Amino acid sequence: MRNREAREPATPELVSEGTAGPRGATVNPVGSDLDRSQLRISPDFGNKVGTRKLITTIPLRKPSRTEWVRTHPDPAWRMPVWVLIEERELFVVRSDIANIIPGEVAAMELVPTINRQGVLFLWPVRLPRPDGKVSDWNESAREAAERAISTWVRVASNMELKAYEIYEALAEMPEPTWPDLSFDAMVRIAVKGRVIDTVEHPTVRKLRGEL
Residue 194 domain flag: yes
Mean pLDDT of 116-139: 91
Q: pLDDT band at residue 34, thresholds of 50, 70 and 90?
A: low
**122 falls in which pLDDT band (50, 70, 90)?**
very high
Q: Which amino acid is at 78?
A: R
Q: Rounded to whole angstroms, how far apart are CA atoms 96 and 195? A: 13
Q: Is residue 26 part of a domain?
A: no
Asked whether residue 175 is assigned to any structural domain, the reply reads: yes
Please, how many CA atoms are within 13 Å of residue 132, restricted to the half-sphere of its CB? 0
Distance CA 98, CA 104 (A): 8
Q: Residue 18 domain-assigned?
A: no
Q: What is the DSSP letter of 12?
A: P
Question: What pLDDT shows up at residue 66?
Answer: 96
Q: Let me know: does 175 contact 160? Beta carbons within 8 Å.
A: no
Average pLDDT value for residue range 101-113:
95
pLDDT band at 51 (very low <50, low <70, confident <90, very high): confident
What percent of the chain lies above the pLDDT cut of 70?
A: 80
Contact 70, 114 (CB under 8 A): yes
**Alpha-carbon torsion, ordered 132, 137, 142, 144, to 10 deg:** 160
pLDDT, residue 87, reads 83
pLDDT of residue 126: 95
What is the count of structural domains for the chain?
Answer: 1
Residue 47 lies in a domain: no
pLDDT of residue 136: 94
24: DSSP letter: G
- The Cα–Cα gap between 103 and 209 comes to 14
Q: What percent of the chain has pLDDT over 90?
A: 66
| Mean pLDDT score, 41-60 | 77
How large is the average pLDDT for residues 114-131?
A: 93
Is 23 domain-assigned?
no
In the prediction, which pLDDT does 8 show? 55
71 pLDDT higher than 80: yes
Could you give the dihedral angle defined by the CA atoms of residues 133, 102, 125 and 194, in that order, rounded to the nearest 10 degrees?
A: 180
Specify the pairing of strand 79-86 against strand 153-158.
Answer: unpaired
Report the pLDDT value the prediction gives residue 25, as an integer from 0 to 100. 54
Amino acid at 85: I
Of the two residues 192 and 129, the one the predictor is more confident about is 192
Cα–Cα distance, 125 to 135 (Å, whole number) = 12
Q: What is the pLDDT of residue 141?
A: 97
Q: What mean pLDDT is predicted for residues 144-155?
A: 98
Rounded Cα distance, 53 and 118, in Å? 12
Q: Positive or negative CA dihedral for 95, 98, 103, 109?
A: negative
Q: Reply yes or no on whether the pLDDT at 115 is more than 60.
A: yes
Please give the Cα distance from 125 to 107 (Å, whole number): 9
According to the model, what pLDDT value does residue 43 have? 72
| Domain ranges, residue 203 | 69-207
Check whether 131 has a pLDDT greater than 90: no
d(CA 89, CA 23): 82
Give the model's confidence band at 35: pLDDT under 50 very low, under 70 low, under 90 confident, else very high: confident
Categorize the per-residue pLDDT at 41 as very low, low, confident or very high, splitting at 50, 70 and 90: confident
User: Is residue 1 assigned to a domain?
Assistant: no
Q: Does 110 map to a domain?
A: yes
